[in-house]
Amino acid sequence: MDIKTITLDGQVLFCPTKKQWEQLFKNPYIESKEIALIDFMKSRIEMSFLYPEVNYFLAEYTPKNKFHFYSLLKINNEFIRVHFENVICENCNKRAYISATPSTKDSYILLSPEEKTKAKEKALKYPNLICKHCGEQYHRRYTIWQTYELKNLL
């Protein structure tokens, strides 16, 4: 399987298409290396098919001879390392639908300290959003993207 790659923050990432992900769900190997946690990530990856900004890419994790997942947000034609979640507003206690925060450690695993700093700086140039329910800014989680509707996979 010929999967497109990009280099982001000094790291080579494999970027499967929707069709390639569907094949990888059945046979979770690239170049005879296992894709770790693919069953756990399957529903998240399928959700990403509905939102063009949401991406899941893979990087080789050499010590374990496996592939590691990265969640990336595409804004203004650039990829930002993020964690996708349903942020809860600390002001009104309501949930956003899907939101992206660049402030979790798992977004920067396997990067050198210099690349980690650059990647975080790139992400933090985007403004911290406000809650769509009450209009107050998020404080617990720096949130740079959120959906305003929840799309259905069916």
Strand blocks (E) in 19-143? 29-30, 33-35, 54-61, 66-75, 78-81, 83-85, 99-101
> What is the per-residue pLDDT across 104-134, written as a single tens digit (0 to 9) for each?
888 888 888 999 999 999 999 999 999 989 9
- 53 contacts 71 by C-beta, under 8 angstroms: no
Residue 54 has a pLDDT of: 95
pLDDT in tens, 1-35: 899 999 999 999 999 999 999 999 999 999 899 99
Which DSSP state fits 128?
A: P
Q: Which value, to the nearest 10 degrees, does the dihedral of the CA atoms of residues 119, 68, 100, 49 take?
A: 120
- Residue 10 CA to residue 114 CA, distance in Å, equals 10
> What is the token pair recorded at 88?
């809860």
